[in-house]
Chains A and B, each alone.
Chain A
Amino acid sequence: MTAFELDPRNDITARSSGLARRRATEKIVAVIAILSALLACAILFVVLGTVLSKGFSQLDLTFFTKAKPLFGQKGGIADALVGSALIVGMCAAFAVPVAVLVAIYISEYAKPATAVFFRMVLDVLNGVPAIIVGIFIYGLLVVGHGQSAIYAAFALSILMMPMVARATQEVLALVPRSLREASLALGVPRWRTVYSIVLPTAIGGILTGVVLAVARVAGETAPLLFTSSLITTNGVSTNVSQALQSLPLAIFEFSESPSPSDHAAGWAAALVLIAFVLLMNVLAKTFAGLKRRKLEGS
């Protein structure tokens, strides 16, 4: 697969003529690479700048304390904030313990072939489109029972679980084998070694994975359409057995509306969501730093 045959077209030494042209090619490629990187940065800044400039002026206290009205006048996103917090919180409570257990099984107990299999299952699950997960939970739970925030949390946890499990499994693999061996040599049982030595060492990396996954699912809209979109209550509700408003869904509804005041509210809600996501990313970076120090110190 990696054999480079001596094909005359591949023979670099045969091309020593035209050095100036080859140097020029090198320069052009470098310029293209720099421009591509700048383009990606520019798009991020354009999107962030637009959201900030169009959303910031809409932010005031009532925007955070009033609920989205079913009809008409200017309201806020209080119901969406509460709903999103409840849904994402429940989602993390479902997904994180399972994800960590799966990662522990893969990294600490499974034989290599089994580990490869379960890693593949996680990667395939990670590749299932969010809207398909929504359809799945719709058919499994919503049909016959009606929508509820709990089902929405279930759907999001299916998206979150493989992300956290893969991230955790990768940091567990970084924990030095010598630490485990030292603990086992002292007669500590394996489960106790995992619990008191391996997990604490990897905690920074695990938290990084959790925080990034929270940021990802907090912005997911598609699964919520099927599980928590038919809002019946007016105002802020904490009843998780009913459908609750959520931030991404509110943005989606604002964006589909023809009214400019809804668009303005959409920008403001988008600003709140993006601020949360960026905050989570910064938090993840701090946790990642924590992990590195701890591993280097050991």
Chain B
Amino acid sequence: MTSTTPEELSAGGYASRRRMRPGDIVFQGVAFLAAAGVTVLLGLLAYKVVAQAWPAIRHFGVSFVWTNAWNPNNDVFGAASFIFGTVVTSFIALLIATPISIAIALFLTEIAPRRIAAPIATVVELLAAIPSVVLGLWGILVFGPWMNDHLEPGLKSAFGFLPILSGPTYQAGILPAALILTIMIVPIISALCRELFSRIPRDLTDGSLALGSTKWEAIRRVGLPYAAPGISAVMLLGLGRAFGEAIAVAQVIGGQVAISRSLFHPGDTLGARIALQYQGATTGLETNSLLYLGAILMVISLVTNVAAQGIVSRFEKARRLH
């Protein structure tokens, strides 16, 4: 007698190989080919992106990564300022988005009554549905100028002693790009956090409440620790999304090859540089260097995503044993 795992019971995975009918062999074969094809496609994608960048990788070597230059006239290219811009904008976005998203998720799962939570959840979902190019249009024409006129001068007068919030302000820059990314990843992180929080076992938080803790203490001391690995995976997914966003960032970041101390200063990211320069690339080496940027971006996003998947699968295994 074989034991049946819950997974086999819940899904339709009843794969007995005995007495397969011809129709089943064909259907299963076609379905398997589709699944295998997608796997091959993913491998081909990774290979092709690196292969296209190969001439530049051979030409510049690894030092491309920490060279801060983009000079088509002298054929000198390097990725440092774009990696800097990508990492800084994405981490600022994550830093702002995570507490807001957790707060939204807590509001929707723990605080709001159902008939208020449902419409607000829909509205937050719709925020994720706004195409990035529209958000970028709003960013460049409305949000950037508003930041330049109001938010950045305010930040400067309050925190101007910090080097990151000093210097002249611009309509496009690192900070507007980071805030546009924040708007893009808040709905993603909050939706996933909401799912995590709704799976916190009631008996754990109820036990804490019965011991006399307030609702917040039950969440803070029992709920959040339970969901912590999931939250870190969700943060990584949000970070991966922020790393990869090209269009909206290209519209608001200002497109300058610079590693500036000030967040008000224009900069550029890997994705934005590829999106804006690909059509204007004049030499073969410049095109190849853009593809090198693409390969770097792909590696960064794949590592972030696979790390998130890894945490999720370990988390789920632990929960099943629990």
| Chain A residues packing against B (C-beta within 8 Å) | 1-2, 4, 10, 12-13, 15-16, 22-23, 25-26, 29-30, 32-37, 39-41, 43-44, 47, 50-51, 98, 101-102, 104-112, 115-116, 118, 120-125, 127-133, 135-136, 138-140, 158, 161-162, 165, 172-173, 175, 177, 180, 189-192, 194, 198, 215-216, 218-222, 225-226, 229-230, 248, 251-252, 254-256, 263, 266-267, 270, 273-274, 277-278, 281, 285
Candidates B134, B213, B237, B298; contact of A129 at CB < 8 Å: B298
Q: Give the residues in chain A near B30, CB-CB below 8 Å.
A: 101
Q: Are A221 and B214 in contact (CB under 8 A)?
A: no
Can you add 14 more A-B contacts, CB < 8 Å, to A26-B216, A215-B129? A12-B208, A16-B212, A36-B99, A40-B187, A44-B123, A107-B13, A109-B15, A120-B309, A124-B302, A125-B38, A131-B244, A131-B246, A132-B301, A255-B133
Q: Give the residues in chain B near A158, CB-CB below 8 Å.
A: 41, 45
Min CB–CB distance A193 → chain B (angstroms): 9
Known: A50-B138, A125-B42. A34 touches B130 (CB 8 A): no
Q: Give the residues in chain A near B225, CB-CB below 8 Å.
A: 4
Min CB–CB distance B247 → chain A (angstroms): 4
- B203 in contact (CB, < 8 A): no
Q: Give the residues in chain B near A255, CB-CB below 8 Å.
A: 133, 136-137, 140-141, 251
Q: Give the residues in chain B near A22, CB-CB below 8 Å.
A: 214, 216-217
- B215 in contact (CB, < 8 A): yes
Q: Give the residues in chain B near A161, CB-CB below 8 Å.
A: 38
Give the contact stretch, choosing among B59-67, B159-167, B271-279: B271-279
Known: A13-B211, A37-B104. A129 touches B271 (CB 8 A): yes
Question: Smallest CB-CB separation from B124: which chain A residue?
Answer: A40
Scan residues 231-255 of chain B and give those whose CB is less than 8 A from a CB of chain A: 237, 240-241, 243-247, 251
Question: Smallest CB-CB separation from A174: which chain B residue?
Answer: B10
21 contacting pairs across A/B (C-beta < 8 A): A12-B212, A23-B214, A25-B216, A37-B104, A40-B187, A41-B120, A41-B124, A98-B37, A102-B34, A105-B31, A105-B32, A125-B41, A128-B305, A129-B298, A131-B294, A132-B49, A172-B11, A173-B10, A221-B131, A230-B279, A277-B129
- B142 in contact (CB, < 8 A): yes
Known: A25-B216, A40-B187. A221 touches B10 (CB 8 A): no
Question: Smallest CB-CB separation from B248: which chain A residue?
Answer: A221
Q: Give the residues in chain A near B212, CB-CB below 8 Å.
A: 12-13, 16
Interface majority SS on B: helix, strand, loop or mixed? helix
- B322 in contact (CB, < 8 A): yes
Scan residues 183-213 of chain B and give those whose CB is less than 8 A from a CB of chain A: 183, 186-187, 190, 208, 211-213
Q: Are A177 and B12 in contact (CB under 8 A)?
A: yes
- B82 in contact (CB, < 8 A): no
Q: Are B35 and A105 in contact (CB under 8 A)?
A: yes
Candidates A128, A218, A230, A263; contact of B141 at CB < 8 Å: A263
Q: Give the residues in chain B near A30, CB-CB below 8 Å.
A: 107, 111, 216
Candidates B23, B124, B302; contact of A189 at CB < 8 Å: B23
Question: Smallest CB-CB separation from A122: which chain B residue?
Answer: B38
Q: Give the residues in chain A near B35, CB-CB below 8 Å.
A: 101-102, 105-106, 110, 118, 121
Q: Give the residues in chain A near B183, CB-CB below 8 Å.
A: 43
Of B15, B130, B140, B212, most buried by chain A (CB within 10 Å of CB) is B130
Min CB–CB distance B198 → chain A (angstroms): 15
Q: Are B127 and A44 in contact (CB under 8 A)?
A: yes
Give the contact stretch, choosing among B1-9, B68-76, B150-158, B257-265: B1-9
Q: Are B129 and A278 in contact (CB under 8 A)?
A: yes
A112 to B49, CA, bound (A): 31
Question: Smallest CB-CB separation from A181: which chain B residue?
Answer: B14
Q: Are B13 and A1 in contact (CB under 8 A)?
A: no
A216 to B51, CA, bound (A): 29
Q: Are B45 and A133 in contact (CB under 8 A)?
A: yes
Binary CB contact string for chain B from 100 to 113 against chain A (1 if under 8 A, 0 otherwise): 11011011101110
Q: Give the residues in chain B near A13, CB-CB below 8 Å.
A: 211-212
Q: Are A132 and B137 in contact (CB under 8 A)?
A: no
Q: Give the residues in chain B near A16, CB-CB below 8 Å.
A: 212
